[in-house]
Amino acid sequence: MALPERKKDLKTFDEELGQLHMSGQWKYDELLVKTIGGPRPKGAPHIWKWETVHSKLLEACEALPESQTARRSLLFNNPAIETHGTTHTMLMGIQIIKPGEEAWAHRHTMAAIRFVIQGDGKVYTTVDGEICPMEDYDLILTPKWTWHDHRNPTSKATIWLDALDVPLVIGGLNVPFYEPYPGNQLQPLKADRSEYLLSRSGTARPTWEQPKTQNFPMRYRWKDTEPQLRALAKGPGSPYDGVSLEYVNPVTGGPTLPTLSCWMQMLRPGEKTQRHRHTSSAMYFVVRGQGTTMVGETALEWKRHDSFVIPNWAWHEHINGSQSDEAILFSVNDIPVLNAFDLYREEPENSLHAVAAPQVPAVSRVKH
């Protein structure tokens, strides 16, 4: 078949294709050239200072006197992302529930975590009928499509950090589902604690049951995490992240949730990590200490309870500003999503799970 003689220029042809809702791949050559060496970071590094956030939370209690179906949560919007998100895949915010208040139950396809900033063992989140107490720096999971509500029977306000995969589920995949609990009320509690899935998430499980590997309530207690963090601080740690722990699925050993991985890391006194970058983005909350995170040429100077964000593929390093005290950072990243598609990369080298576990001590053989 003979090719037609050239009767039109490329610009005219592109316009005709556009009217037919088509385009030539040649139009994207410039975009492909820009990706040589990796993507441009999506979003900007930014910090939200605790003094400002806490002040606005208290004002929110006046502006929104009752928080039942709604949540009294202040969301962190990245100034360089047009859509609703702290990064292009995740959303973080700080929520407050007043003394005696109850936030009614609902569920959604967005997965969420709660990291408790100011809690009490009597305050709790209910997940699928199971009580998860909320003490300071505990991590509570509300996996996708699980019923959850929050109840504060104490005389003090409770504050926690929320992190969700909202931009991914809504903006990226377009699969948002939401359902309020019938009658806009609290869900019933399981009467028999022998039915708690929470009690099946440890190292001993019923032999007669099939283990549930996803979508179960989970509480990681700070009183368990902190000693482990301190014990590992005596070792070398990561040159890029200090002494860093990942909260894992206790049944599978996999990430915290299929779309979110939660970390706790310690920067020892005077520690400065090496500069690196990765295809994942991360949101941080300062548990204690003070220091600086350099993201490219931007210096994020942080202290206790500040929050900040590092976009994907942005060079960064952490610096503990104290020579005598450690700094502890909680973070949430989207590494599980990237790993699912084999798209997780690091530079200058892969540091994630790169070092072998400690070896068994050599056997000492005595000659007779």
- pTM higher than 0.75 for the full model? yes
Identify the CA nearest to 86 among candidates 46, 144, 116, 53.
46
Q: How much is the pLDDT for 368?
A: 63
H helical segments located in 28-173: 29-34, 50-63, 166
Q: How much is the pLDDT for 118?
A: 98
The conformation of residue 171, written as its DSSP 8-state character, comes to I
At residue 87's C-alpha, the angle toward residues 86 and 88, to 5°, is 130
Residue 210: half-sphere exposure toward Cβ, Cα within 13 Å: 3
The conformation of residue 26, written as its DSSP 8-state character, comes to G
11 part of a folded domain:
no
Q: How much is the pLDDT for 361?
A: 87
Question: What is the rounded end-to-end Cα distance, in angstroms, of the chain?
Answer: 91
Contact (CB, 8 A) for 12 and 265: no
Q: How much is the pLDDT for 4?
A: 64
Contact (CB, 8 A) for 284 and 330: yes
> pLDDT (tens digit, 0 to 9) for every residue of the chain, 368 residues total?
666 666 789 999 999 999 999 999 998 888 888 899 899 999 999 999 999 999 999 999 999 988 776 789 999 999 999 988 999 999 999 999 999 999 999 999 999 999 999 999 999 999 999 999 999 999 999 999 999 999 999 999 999 999 999 999 999 999 999 999 998 899 999 999 899 999 888 888 899 999 899 999 999 999 999 999 999 999 999 999 999 999 999 999 999 999 999 999 999 999 999 999 999 999 999 999 999 999 999 999 999 999 999 999 999 999 999 999 999 999 999 999 999 999 999 999 999 999 998 889 888 777 76
* 346 CB-contact burial (10 Å; exposed 0-12 / middle 13-18 / buried 19+): middle
Residue 90's CATH number: 2.60.120.10
367 part of a folded domain:
no
* 118: Cβ contacts below 8 Å, ≥ 6 apart: 136, 156, 157, 158, 159, 160
Q: What range defines the domain where residue 340 resides? A: 46-192+215-347
Q: Kindly report the number of other CB atoms within 10 A of residue 124's CB atom.
A: 23
31 part of a folded domain:
no
Contact (CB, 8 A) for 245 and 232: yes
* 67: Cβ contacts below 8 Å, ≥ 6 apart: 97, 98, 101, 103
206 part of a folded domain:
no
113 part of a folded domain:
yes
Instruction: State residue 170 phi and psi, 5-degree precision.
Output: -90, -55
Number of domains in the chain: 1
* 323: Cβ contacts below 8 Å, ≥ 6 apart: 269, 270
b/e 281-294 (16+ beta carbons within 10 angstroms → b)? bbbbbbbebebebb
250 part of a folded domain:
yes
Cα separations in angstroms, 250 against 121, 163, 198, 200, 246: 22, 20, 10, 9, 11
Handedness of CA 78, 81, 82, 87 (dihedral sign): negative
How far is C-alpha 215 from the chain's CA centre?
A: 16
Q: How much is the pLDDT for 66?
A: 82
Tokens of 202: 């440890």
Cα gap 295→315, rounded to integer Å: 6
Cα gap 12→18, rounded to integer Å: 10
